[in-house]
Amino acid sequence: MTKAAKVMVPAIKVTRLHKTFNCCKALDGVSLDINPGEMVALIGASGSGKSTLLRHVAGLAVGDSSAQGGSVEVMGRPVQARGRLATDIRATRARIGFVFQQFNLVGRLPVMTNVLTGALGRLPLWRSLTGLFPLEDRERAFEALTRVGIPETAWQRASTLSGGQQQRAAIARTLVQRAEIILADEPIASLDPESSRRVMETLATINAEDKTTVVVCLHQVDFAIRYCPRTIALKKGQIVFDGPSANLTPSTLRDLYGAEADELTAPIQGSASYITDTALAVAG
């Protein structure tokens, strides 16, 4: 296993990535390796840079261009280096599925069309501009909707769906994309506990069945411990913890985050206290 891991090209390789916004450093020399097939949680309080990091990995944002500016590689292909996106970024983005906190579906289009947009990266222009998706892709889209459990919504407008359903449609989009990596940026932060659980389970199933690498930004440690074997914790743009999620005990968290730890362990509207308890039991 360890031998294979050494030979493998990392799914995601970030090297000394820096990002400065007007006021402050959002990413401060972040380096990490994630192997194919891993399911990793990225945790941290708000403003810790976890979403920023994920957006850089997908090439939706570029890092600092100064000499110390780092690089991002995905499946061995450059995404960005020294503040410049790779020229073939679109081909690389097509291999990365991105799931957003606010779902980012096109509300006025049917769910089916939203899911089919996952195929845009590999379609010839005449097909994508006319909306004539090949039968194979339409079948794949319907299968994906079935897999995430919302096939009956296929021809509804995306805006008519509940938050949890929209997020699952967004995950279906990454399935049509045949994404080798799924990056999920706070996918459950806008959802109720039950929808959150279903979304996390959908992601975990895809990780287990398709061997898709999944990186999830999370606000709550409970979910990280429950669904992700490995956790990377960020604080003020720096990695402060990278290891098995089981090692994240409440005391470790307090050491890492001080008063901010409360924000990460806060139970999610009632029902999550059960998860916290299990998590503590597992961690302890």
Residues that bind other proteins (CB under 8 A): 58, 60, 90-98, 100, 102-109, 113, 117-122, 125, 128-129, 131, 170, 173, 177
Q: Which CB atom, from 175 or from 234, has the smaller least distance to other proteins? A: 175
- CB 180, CB 156: distance < 8 Å: no
Alpha helices in the chain (DSSP H): 2-7, 50-57, 89-94, 111-116, 125-130, 135-148, 163-176, 193-210, 221-227, 250-257, 261-265, 273-283
Please, what is the Cα angle at 179 between 228 and 87, to 5 degrees? Answer: 115
**CB of residue 55 to other proteins, shortest distance in Å:** 9
Q: Could you tell me the smallest distance in angstroms from the CB atom of residue 14 to other proteins?
A: 18
Shortest gap between Cβ of 58 and other proteins (angstroms)? Answer: 6
Q: Whose Cβ is closer to other proteins: residue 93's or residue 230's?
A: 93
* Burial of 240 from C-beta contacts in 10 A (0-12 / 13-18 / 19+): middle
For other proteins, which is the closer residue by CB, 184 or 279? 184
Q: CB of 127: closest distance to other proteins in angstroms?
A: 10
Nearest distance from C-beta of residue 235 to other proteins, angstroms = 26
**Per-residue DSSP letter, 204:** H
> Quick one: 159 or 247, whose CB is closer to other proteins?
159
Q: Which residues pair with 216 in a beta bridge?
A: 41, 184
Residue 130, helix vs strand vs coil: helix
Q: Which is nearer to other proteins, 153 or 166 (CB)?
A: 166
